[in-house]
Structure 1
Amino acid sequence: MTTHAYPGITPAALDVDVTQDVRNLYEDGITARKGAFSVEWADRLREDVDVAFEEALSRPGGAVGRGPNRYYVEIHPEQIRGFVELVDHPWVRSVCTAVLGPDYRIVELGFDVPLEGAVNQPWHRDFPMPEETRRERRLTSLAFNVTTVDTEEDMGPFEIAPGTQWDDSPEFDHGMFPPRDHYDRYLGRAVRKYPKRGDISARTALTIHRGTTNESAKPRPVLVLGVDGPEAGNADRHDTAVTRAYWDALPERVRRHLDCPVVDELVPVTQKHTIEGLVMGDA
């Protein structure tokens, strides 16, 4: 495996060989597995996301804006029927272990929904660069994205600038938003992604990216799974929880990586995962 793999992790220690995926993450900032899940599994996910989105919009703080007509909602694992299949998928487990080590922690579950009228987001990364990444060029967290629809050109596809996860400048606002005079660099590298139901991607959220204008009448919900390595501390920014009965029914292999409270009763999440600047709209 490449020297960027977590120390001591070899392909023989993994469920599947993800050597090329690790290389992709360090070189491009993103990788993917086509057809990881069945279309039927993705359709059930869409049903669960639609129910959670309707509930979140019905109460204050249930959804946070990511720009005009674009929302993010954090949810609990029990709100989607396919949670165990997702986090226990051999490719997901192997990528997490290879990049973040055997003690990786699942810290975030949510979804983004660009609706009709969503506009281009400003180019951004999702959090400031950690010191470990700046000093050692080492990734300490991953974001997995699972589409619930077959993405088409007019639906505002996700756009990413490969290789920009290492970009570092004091000019970045909040450590996340590059100034406009950097935009030509990102536009020159920009790649739009058109995943289908059943596909999954993994990326470092440090790679500069944006959602684009949704010119259709169709929403484009995407599930987000956030995973930390031992050095990252993103769990403090999330409120994911599980009930005791759900926890007890989880496979031990999943429990070992799930970093969240076990509670008697779930409380709907009040969103706090805001990203400054995305409410600016078309930038």
Structure 2
Amino acid sequence: METAQLTTSIQTTYDVAQIMGGLYGDGIIGLKGAFSREWVQQLGEDIAVLYEEALKRPGGALGRGPKRHYVEIHPEDIRGFVELAMHPWVTAVCEAVLGPTYKIVEIGFDVPNPGAINQPWHRDFPAPDDTIIGRRLNSLAFNLTTIDVTEDMGPFEVAPGTQWDLPIDFEHGMFPPKTNSPRYEQRAQRKMPQMGDISARSALTIHRGTANYSDKSRPALVLGVDAPTANNAERHDLQITRTFYATLPESLKQHLTCRLVDELETIEQGHTIEGLMMGEA
């Protein structure tokens, strides 16, 4: 009954057709001012501590190109995980695109530091048969900036509609041939969210991080969510302590694919993207 009531409430708040149209069309949508600046500032403080710790730990921060890292974390490492995972817009988007039995499989953050260069155009992983053959999206990535993004900070750049591109001559199924680049550059949109904004995208939509010419880092939280037919949980190790799990609402527990532990273990990050390490040629 709780789930049915939640779904009804969400459907009256957010337009499912707009959500579906945006993610099946451009491949990315957003919500301005989803969280307060105070909430985001707190998140930024937590990420700064976690990033410093990860840089000191072997394998703690995976390279995503020169001066650019990705760090996978535990949900309870940040204050506000429940508010993020249960935000009505996040829930509405997940239910609309992935169905009522969606699962959260990943949480982490990207940090493009000063001096980061353009990434090559890419997908975050190879397109599954669900998308190539069935023309369905079976996973989503939510992104939440911890600062106000400006043009010189290396904003995220996306080529709308390219989630449907067949991976012809894509290296490792993720990196399109250079001959495709003019098309992506013609379509390209740079995203400059402000603190409190959140976006949802298909990780298959061709995108890249751009060069950071500023003297500031641009951290962004990442929340990965799967439909029942996706297998992205295999790339991650979402852990939650039994103590923290006991405090979570039942309506959230049913949307977590996680390993319950007595004490959190160091995450051995398995989702490396070697093709990003050299940056754009």
For the superposition of Structure 1 and Structure 2, which TM-score range results when normalised by the shorter chain? over 0.9
SS in 2 for 1:71: strand
- Tell me the SS of whatever aligns to 1:165: helix
Task: Please tell me whether the aligned partners of residues 21 and 32 of structure 1 are also in contact (alpha carbons under 8 angstroms).
Answer: no
Change (3 A) 1:12 1:68: closer
Q: Which letter maps to 2:250?
A: E
- Among the aligned pairs, what percent are the same residue? 63
Cα pair distance change 1:23/1:77, threshold 3 Å: same
Distance 1:11 1:175, change over 3 A: farther
CA contact (8 A) 2:59 2:268 kept: yes
State the distance in 1 between where 2:77 and 2:167 align: 39
1:90 maps to which residue? Answer: 88
Matches within 5 A, 1:228-247: 228-247=226-245
* SS of residue paired to 1:106: strand
Off by >2 Å, runs of 4+ in structure 1: 9-19
* Match among 273, 276, 279 for residue 274 of structure 2: 276
TM-score (norm 2): 0.95
> Is 1:202–2:200 an aligned residue pair?
yes
CA RMSD of aligned residues (A): 1.4
Query: What is the DSSP-based 3-state SS (H/G/I as helix, E as strand, rest coil) of the residue aligned with 2:133?
Result: helix
**C-alpha distance after superposition, 1:35-59 (max 9, x if no partner):** 0000001100100100110110111
Q: What code does the residue aligned with 2:46 have? A: D
1:73 to 60, 65, 71: 71
Q: Distance in 1 between matches of 2:211 and 2:148?
A: 16
| Range moving further from structure 2, 90-99 or 12-21 | 12-21
Question: Counterparts of 2:196 and 2:121 in 1: how far apart (Å)?
Answer: 27
Opposite residue 241 of structure 1, the aligned amino acid is Q
Residue equivalent to 2:50: 52
Shift in alpha-carbon separation, 1:74–1:14, aligned structure 2, 3 A: farther
- 1:261 corresponding residue in structure 2: 259
* C-alpha deviation, 1:268, in angstroms: 2.1
Q: CA deviation at 1:272?
A: 1.6
Q: Deviations over 1:137-171 (max 9, x none)?
A: 10000000000000001000000000111111330
| Whole-angstrom distance in 2 between the partners of 1:220 and 1:199 | 14
Partner deviation per Cα, 1:112-145 (whole Å, 9 max, x = no partner): 0000110000000011111011112100000000
Quick one: which of 25, 39, 42 aligns to 1:41? 39
Q: Deviations over 1:229-259 (max 9, x none)?
A: 0000010110120101100000011101011
Structure 1, residues 187-215: CA drift from partner, whole Å, max 9, x if none? 00000000000000000000000000000
Q: Do 1:113 and 1:222's aligned partners in 2 also have CA atoms closer than 8 Å?
A: yes
Tell me if 1:157 matches 2:155: yes
1:227 counterpart (213, 225, 228): 225
For 1:67, give the aligned amino acid: G
Check 1:193–1:12 CA distance in 2 against 1; reply closer, same or farther (3 A cut). closer
Query: Does structure 1 residue 17 correspond to structure 2 residue 15?
Result: yes
1:134-145 map, 5 Å: 134-145=132-143
Change (3 A) 1:58 1:14: farther
> 3-state DSSP class of the match of 1:19?
helix
Q: Any residues of structure 2 matched to 1:166-185 within 5 Å, and which?
A: 166-185=164-183
Whole-Å separation in 1 of the counterparts to 2:192 and 2:199: 11
14 and 241 in structure 1: CA distance in 2 versus 1, 3 angstrom threshold:
farther
Measure the CA separation in 2 of the matches of 1:39 and 1:229.
31
The normalised TM-score by structure 1 is 0.94
CA contact (8 A) 1:147 1:222 kept: yes
Shift of 1:11: 8.8
The 3-state SS of whatever aligns with 1:280 is coil
Pair 1:167–1:243, CA change in 2 (3 A): same
Gaps of 5+ in 1: 1-8
Structure 2 counterpart SS, 1:146: strand
